[in-house]
Amino acid sequence: MSLKNRSVTIIEDLSNEEIEQVFCVADRMLESIKGQTELCAGQIMATLFYEPSTRTRLSFEAAMNRLGGRVISVSDAQTSSHAKGESLADTARVVGSYVDIMVIRHPSEGSPRIAADYAGVPVVNAGDGTHEHPTQTLCDLYTLRREKGHIKGLTVALWGDLKYGRTVHSLAYGLARFGARIVALADEGMELPEYVTARLLNEYSCHVIQGKASDLDRIVQQVDAVCLNPPSSKQLPLTAQYSGDESGHKDDRDSATGQIDVLYLTRLQKERQFSSEGAAKVRYKTIDHQFMKRAEFSDTLLMHPLPRVGELSCELDTDPRSIYFKQASFGVPIRMAL
């Protein structure tokens, strides 16, 4: 299988085997991150970022620079012809004639696909609105694989703004495909969209256990029971909803431990949903040292795509369970590999 000349606009663009292949190459990149200076010599990558970014853009650019290629960039839509009203299709067609690969972040869902249809070169989605962020998912899955040695059977709790946070959408598909169990703990009104849960169920037989973000501590005790002995919908515990079928079908994501192995935090995507006064009123919990002291979390890894804005206390940064900076650092080898 070759990824040559293929775009990655959603996580489904990569098969599980191809994802594994990217991880193997990323391992090699990590071993010698400064020793790859010929791999993309003579190639040019364009990064078109129509939304703010630090990690994603810079790790893509660092990756290309490490590989010996060159980078041209639009980091502010207001300085490009987008501000004059140019269509994305036209921009993609023109930029595609200048470069060998294009990376795009855009506020409109599906726009990387449009760019891919016109660019004539591979296009990589670096985040499209509330939809997907496939390369962040590669970083997340790679981090889990390195930390835990496997993804199958892990119980991963996605926590926070699961409606507008694009990282958790692609991650949920990736986790399901590799056999993890998903617990979705959303803030009120920010539940995983139905099209995501329906797809998880219909395409990957993945039954999401749903609850409220504020119930995280209570849910932890219920996860074991819910996971190992899924109730029919009539027997649902108040805070945990098992979204599987009514027959009590047991999803054999074997080797699951019954505890939460990973707590994946996300920030409130306030730019996507509220006026600033509205966002200020949302009471978003802060995960801190006190919270993580609970025995149930003694082996729970903490992940976050970053940036964080108050939901994750800095006092946890030196805690061995905190792997979010490692997760961010894998952005370079993963994007080099891709």
User: Given 56, 137, 167, 197, which residue is catalytic?
Assistant: 56
Smaller CB separation from ligand NCD, 240 or 336: 336
Q: Which residue is nearest to ligand NCD (CB)?
A: 305
Of the two residues 242 and 330, which places its CB atom closer to ligand NCD in the complex? 330
94 CB-near residues (< 8 Å, 6+ apart)? none
Catalytic residue, chosen from 57, 66, 131, 133, is 133
Report the alpha-carbon distance of residue 27 to residue 40 in Å, rounded: 18
Q: Decide if 84 is catalytic.
A: yes
Q: Which is nearer to ligand NCD, 230 or 305 (CB)?
A: 305
Give the nearest distance from C-beta 11 to ligand NCD in angstroms.
13
In angstroms, rounded to a whole number, what is the distance separating the alpha carbons of residues 256 and 142? 19
- The CB-of-156 to ligand NCD minimum distance in angstroms stands at 17
Residue 294 annotated among the catalytic residues of the structure? no
Which residue among 55, 218, 308, 326 is the active-site one?
Answer: 55
Binding site for ligand NCD (CB under 6 A): 55-56, 127, 133, 136, 165-167, 267, 305-306
Torsions phi, psi of 30, nearest 5?
-65, -35
Q: How far is the CB of 240 from ligand NCD (least distance, A)?
A: 25
Active-site residue, from 47, 57, 91, 105:
105
Backbone angles phi, psi at 331, to 5 degrees: -55, -35
Look at the block and give the residue holding tokens 């703004």: 161
Smallest gap from residue 60 Cβ to ligand NCD (A): 10
CB of 55 to ligand NCD, least distance (A): 5
CA distances from 5 to 67, 124, 131, 333, 336 (A): 17, 11, 23, 20, 15
Which residue in the block uniquely carries the two structure tokens 């119930």?
Answer: 215
Catalytic residue among 4, 84, 234, 281: 84
Q: DSSP 3-state assignment of 27?
A: helix
Based on the residue annotation, tell me whether 34 is a catalytic residue of this protein. Answer: no
Give whichever of 226 and 263 is closer to ligand NCD, judged by the CB atom.
263
Closer residue to ligand NCD, CB minimum distance, 58 or 72: 58
Q: DSSP 3-state assignment of 100?
A: coil
Contact 183, 224 (CB under 8 A): no
Burial class (CB in 10 A: 0-12, 13-18, 19+), 179: buried
Catalytic residue list:
55-56, 84, 105, 133
